[in-house]
Structure 1
């Protein structure tokens, strides 16, 4: 029976340390529950609040780890059977894991060994205690006087941009970089569905210090947040990213230029693109290709009845992400299918129409 206790205890410990997204969204995490009882009313600044949260998270994880290993050691002692090989292996694993966890927590307690210690990282940009206090005051002032750019990267961390500083929030602190000492390296672009089941393009970016004051690390951002970040760093990826996207967009527009236009009336409202939230929606998907090709092959495009929700740039990037890796020119008509990012209907490049405003809707 002890093996089931061992697995159940480990599952509880793992869920407490890495809660699922549903728990995080509702605030039902171990550190949030502990914070209800251990509020620090003196932690009124951005830096102080996050340092306090990191300490509470660390203490709560230490307590649950100590409780888990103490319980399992007690169970092993009370039910130990030297003839049971599985029990012996479990006991050895529990003891080794306890020593390893203790060692890792010990290194976190020592300030100089915690890579996520906020004060330690900020002190790299200050020559003395007075300059460090000035940096903290500047960050707190910007935080309360300006709206920071915040983007949830993954379930367990988020990125906060405040003035000239970027914080990648971690369990026991944050990775901190000064943006005018940072260069960006584009690693890859990713397409995925958000919680609203809408396709969005994300970018995996590596941040690297120009003066090597921090180890390189990666973050994942949306295009709008990436554009904002690009304006603040010393070496941006504007040129690389924009040129790449411009080439894809230009080729996509060239391919759909022979398709009929989709006309709308002047009084019809045009919404902003769901992908970038900046450009106006200017393309629409309407099935035009036949069900059978010239050689008799089936062309399984589907009817899409969505209204115009995307700009040509975002739809081009979505189409390229599906077709560009398998086809040399990335835009071969008919033979490559992508899915409508809203309703998931399959379409080819012949089904994409540019929107034009007319005195009457003839679309």
Structure 2
């Protein structure tokens, strides 16, 4: 019975530390359970993770004690009864004496181990109590932010899409945060985290965020925060995986080392992400990533199609935008300006086989009267998403509905703006 209990407990601990995607999709993770008792991450990012990491430390320090106590419930009573049986009802000989000593040693070992694990638990509680003094000033996350209290600058934020988040995030002029005010730095990190134009990536039990000014790696027990303009990024490792839940065609996992340049007191850390997210990271980072020799970054099928898509539409006729129309940022990424207009250039042909399209009407392209609202990359990704994913060799000759008005178009109808 004790062996089955040990195996079950080890599986339970593994699921808590590395939850499978089925548990994550169902919300059955330690972070989700803990987050239901503290402030939400989006409301106050730093406060949320200070309390989350503290609660996680307490819970994990309690697990060994739970295991030993479970052993007592399941097995110790049996051990005690056996000792009493040997002591009172059996003849004493070398065999029974050795059995008695062995069982007594095992019992004492469990008692000592339970005392040790209980001590670890109370020591962790004392450490957390120390962290919480003076508004969590002593917490490692707060100590990390303290290093930026004299040098942090918050860039001006002036975007109408941010008005509903917080009025204070609009039109912030550059300013320096005074010393000994890590809370002000925490507020700036939390405000930038609330913005929707940040890069995010999940890998295993860690998360990575890239905002306008900060790089953030969230782990189970800690959060690494560095200023984006004060780091050097080195792509050191690239591992290929034939089988992966990320893609049916396998995946390449990249490991990037983040080295602070001027803040030498901050510990370097590594971030891991799929090669499919590498281009998005570079676009958001807006600075070079040093790549070690002999590392070849594999692009996803979608990225390769985007490149081919761009090459094809560069040969299409250009669309002259009327002067009365003002361009806005792309509806898909909200970062790049609108770059393409759907304008019917192709000559309709009847489908030769039923596989050419879902129905005959869809194969006839129609004029789209929507204003330019998409960048070239987002339009390419939209076009690819509307194709048969099992036959990527036919994507370029496929058809897609307009994202807004649903008018059918082909790749010949996508025009760059002049």
The interval holding the TM-score normalised by the smaller chain is: 0.5 to 0.7
Partner of 1:213: 265
Partner of 1:147: 197
Question: Superposed, which structure 2 residues align to 1:111-150 within 5 Å?
Answer: 111=131, 117-127=140-150, 130-150=180-200
Question: Superposed, which structure 2 residues align to 1:94-105 within 5 Å?
Answer: 96=113, 99=116, 103=120
Matched, 1:175 2:198: no
Is the CA contact 2:259–2:269 (under 8 Å) kept in the aligned structure 1? yes
Deviations 1:264-309 (A, max 9, x none): xxxxxxxx942467423599xxxxxxxxxxxxxxxxxxxxxxxxxx
Displacement, 1:135? 1.5
Is the CA contact 2:131–2:139 (under 8 Å) kept in the aligned structure 1? no
Gap change, CA 1:198 and 1:132, over 3 Å in 2: same
Is the CA contact 1:273–1:281 (under 8 Å) kept in the aligned structure 2? no
Structure 2: gaps of 5 or more residues? 84-98, 133-137, 151-177, 312-388, 398-411, 413-418
Question: Superposed, which structure 2 residues align to 1:72-91 within 5 Å?
Answer: 72-80=71-79, 83=99
Gap change, CA 1:25 and 1:11, over 3 Å in 2: same
Is the CA contact 2:210–2:284 (under 8 Å) kept in the aligned structure 1? no
RMSD after superposition = 5.0
Question: Superposed, which structure 2 residues align to 1:176-191 within 5 Å?
Answer: 176-191=225-240
Larger CA deviation: 72-81 vs 222-231: 222-231
Displacement, 1:222? 3.6
Give the SS at the match of 2:147. Answer: helix
Is the CA contact 1:31–1:60 (under 8 Å) kept in the aligned structure 2? no
Instruction: Provide the rounded CA distance (Å) in 2 between the counterparts of 1:20 and 1:281.
Output: 36
Is the CA contact 1:2–1:75 (under 8 Å) kept in the aligned structure 2? yes
Is the CA contact 2:251–2:275 (under 8 Å) kept in the aligned structure 1? no
Is the CA contact 2:209–2:217 (under 8 Å) kept in the aligned structure 1? yes
Displacement, 1:223? 4.2
Is the CA contact 2:43–2:190 (under 8 Å) kept in the aligned structure 1? no
Is the CA contact 2:236–2:255 (under 8 Å) kept in the aligned structure 1? yes
Q: TM-score, normalised by structure 2?
A: 0.50
Q: TM-score, normalised by structure 1?
A: 0.57
Gap change, CA 1:3 and 1:209, over 3 Å in 2: same
Instruction: Provide the rounded CA distance (Å) in 1 between the counterparts of 2:148 and 2:29.
Output: 33
Displacement, 1:28? 0.9
Deviations 1:105-129 (A, max 9, x none): 72963549xx993222212222566
Instruction: Provide the rounded CA distance (Å) in 2 between the counterparts of 1:282 and 1:94.
Output: 69
Is the CA contact 2:149–2:179 (under 8 Å) kept in the aligned structure 1? yes
Bigger fraction of residues in strand: 1
Partner of 1:46: 45
Give the SS at the match of 2:302. Answer: coil
Aligned pairs, number: 272
Q: 2:208 aligns with which of 159, 182, 185?
A: 159
Instruction: Provide the rounded CA distance (Å) in 1 between the counterparts of 2:35 and 2:108.
Output: 33
Instruction: Provide the rounded CA distance (Å) in 1 between the counterparts of 2:225 and 2:284.
Output: 15
Instruction: Provide the rounded CA distance (Å) in 1 between the counterparts of 2:28 and 2:259.
Output: 34
Partner of 1:279: 307
Gap change, CA 1:182 and 1:226, over 3 Å in 2: farther
Deviations 1:189-214 (A, max 9, x none): 23333444133433211111223232
Displacement, 1:220? 1.3
Gap change, CA 1:222 and 1:71, over 3 Å in 2: closer
Instruction: Provide the rounded CA distance (Å) in 1 between the counterparts of 2:200 and 2:104.
Output: 48
Instruction: Provide the rounded CA distance (Å) in 1 between the counterparts of 2:145 and 2:71.
Output: 40
Instruction: Provide the rounded CA distance (Å) in 1 between the counterparts of 2:217 and 2:305.
Output: 24
Is the CA contact 1:179–1:234 (under 8 Å) kept in the aligned structure 2? no
Is the CA contact 1:35–1:56 (under 8 Å) kept in the aligned structure 2? no
Displacement, 1:60? 3.6
